[in-house]
């Protein structure tokens, strides 16, 4: 499928070849920077929901390939406070920019924005639904850390119910030979629809509550935060927060070369004593957001093929 003019809304819209195309361009851009690739092009970053990594790595990515940026990092100073609709906001911004990067708390908001927009919209996270560019950088990280995407056992730990990064990565990894482990309390387990998709695609998976019990089997441990902002009931959040807290002692129960990923931010689920171990891949993972997002910007604007 051609990327030019295409919005990036859900990882479900990607074929295996599409995923590999993005990774291949990211690798080339990391090796050979292209400082003029997006010269005279403008990227709008519309963040209706907080972000550190996603927004900053998109900004860094665009600046390093010669483009310029406009946008907002919260809606306090925008006409959203006066009641302007998302549709109308996009109808204007698409005249000011060549590509729009948007994060919103409402599931489906990115799809709606792409219907309003004359330029590609890149979903930087819509509620608990999807975060496709995070998934692409997660795949890139796995490929860099392990040298392959096939034949890996991937364990997802924590908030699998609301974790959009988990949902997207689970779909993407289904294109490869993999076994998945979902480690979560029952109340935060993977939504059934994702498990049904895995069954349809003959991807083996295990549901488990005890991380230590299955840690030895994993090549990748993908930790996630229990997301306070996704709970409607604070009592429920207080029951579940802190349920998984790993530290360097976990490595006694894992393969020697297990890679620990986390989309970040973390709260208390990964102790800082893991940071200096070679297994801690999460800061390298955040850095990989730059070449991967450069590749995505270049592809959807037709500057890369
Ligand atoms: N991983 C991620 O989406 O981080 P931010 O919320 O800081 O953008």
- Residue 194, pLDDT > 80, answer yes
Q: Does residue 103 have an active-site annotation?
A: yes
Enter the pTM of the model: 0.95
Q: How confident is the model at residue 117 (pLDDT cuts 50, 70, 90)?
A: very high
Q: What is the pLDDT of residue 58?
A: 98
Q: What is the pLDDT of residue 127?
A: 86
Residue 293: name the closest of 1, 75, 51, 48 by CA: 51
- Residues 92-103: tens digit of each pLDDT: 999 999 999 999
Ligand 1 center–CA 125 separation, angstroms = 9
Q: Does residue 82 have an active-site annotation?
A: yes
> Which residue reads 């489906």 in tokens?
108
Ligand 1 center–CA 289 separation, angstroms = 10
Averaged pLDDT for residues 274-281: 98
Do you find a cis peptide bond into 265, omega within 30 degrees of 0?
Answer: yes
Backbone angles phi, psi at 126, to 5 degrees: -125, 100
Q: How confident is the model at residue 273 (pLDDT cuts 50, 70, 90)?
A: very high
Cα(90)–Cα(272) distance, integer angstroms: 41
Q: Is the dihedral of CA 2, 200, 163, 266 positive or negative?
A: negative
Would you call 151 helix, strand, or coil by DSSP?
A: coil
Averaged pLDDT for residues 59-67: 98
Ligand 1 center–CA 47 separation, angstroms = 11
Q: Which of 45, 49, 53, 128 to mutate to test the pocket of ligand 1 (most atoms within 8 A of CB)?
A: 53
- Residues 218-265: tens digit of each pLDDT: 999 999 998 777 778 888 878 778 789 999 999 999 999 999 999 999
Domains and CATH numbers, the chain: 11-130+289-300 (3.40.50.1370), 132-286 (3.40.50.1370)
Q: Is the dihedral of CA 115, 116, 121, 123 positive or negative?
A: negative
Q: What is the pLDDT of residue 240?
A: 75
Q: What is the pLDDT of residue 227?
A: 78
Averaged pLDDT for residues 13-37: 98
- Which listed residue (131, 161, 164, 303) is catalytic? 131
Cα(291)–Cα(31) distance, integer angstroms: 9
Going by CA atoms, what residue is nearest to atom 5 of ligand 1? 51
Contact, 248 vs 274, CB < 8 A?
yes
Q: What is the pLDDT of residue 237?
A: 77
Contact, 115 vs 271, CB < 8 A?
no
Q: What is the pLDDT of residue 239?
A: 79
């Amino acid at each position: 499928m051609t990327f030019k003019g295409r919005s990036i809304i859900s990882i479900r819209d990607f074929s295996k070849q599409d995923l590999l195309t993005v990774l291949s361009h990211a690798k080339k851009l990391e090796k050979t920077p292209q400082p003029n690739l997006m010269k005279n092009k403008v990227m709008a970053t519309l963040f209706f929901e907080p972000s550190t990594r996603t927004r900053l790595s998109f900004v860094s990515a665009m600046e390093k390939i010669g483009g310029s940026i406009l946008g907002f990092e919260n809606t306090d100073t925008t006409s959203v406070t006066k009641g302007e609709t998302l549709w109308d906001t996009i109808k204007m911004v698409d005249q000011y920019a060549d590509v729009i990067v948007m994060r919103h708390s409402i599931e489906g908001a990115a799809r709606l924005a792409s219907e309003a927009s004359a330029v590609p919209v890149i979903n930087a996270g819509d509620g608990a639904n999807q975060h496709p560019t995070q998934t692409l950088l997660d795949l890139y990280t796995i490929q860099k850390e392990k040298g392959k995407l096939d034949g890996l056992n991937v364990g997802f730990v924590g908030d699998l119910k609301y974790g959009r990064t988990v949902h997207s990565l689970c779909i993407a990894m289904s294109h490869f030979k993999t076994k998945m482990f979902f480690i979560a309390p029952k109340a935060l387990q993977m939504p059934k629809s994702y498990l049904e998709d895995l069954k349809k695609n003959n991807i083996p998976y295990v549901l488990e509550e005890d991380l230590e019990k299955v840690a030895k089997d994993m090549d990748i441990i993908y930790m996630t935060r229990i997301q306070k902002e996704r709970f409607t009931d604070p009592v429920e959040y207080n029951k579940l927060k802190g349920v998984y807290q790993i530290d360097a002692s976990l490595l006694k129960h894992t393969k020697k070369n297990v890679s620990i990923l986390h989309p970040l931010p973390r709260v208390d689920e990964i102790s800082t004593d893991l940071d200096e171990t070679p297994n801690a891949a999460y800061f390298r993972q955040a850095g990989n957001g730059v070449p991967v997002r450069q590749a995505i910007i270049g592809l959807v604007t037709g500057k890369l093929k």
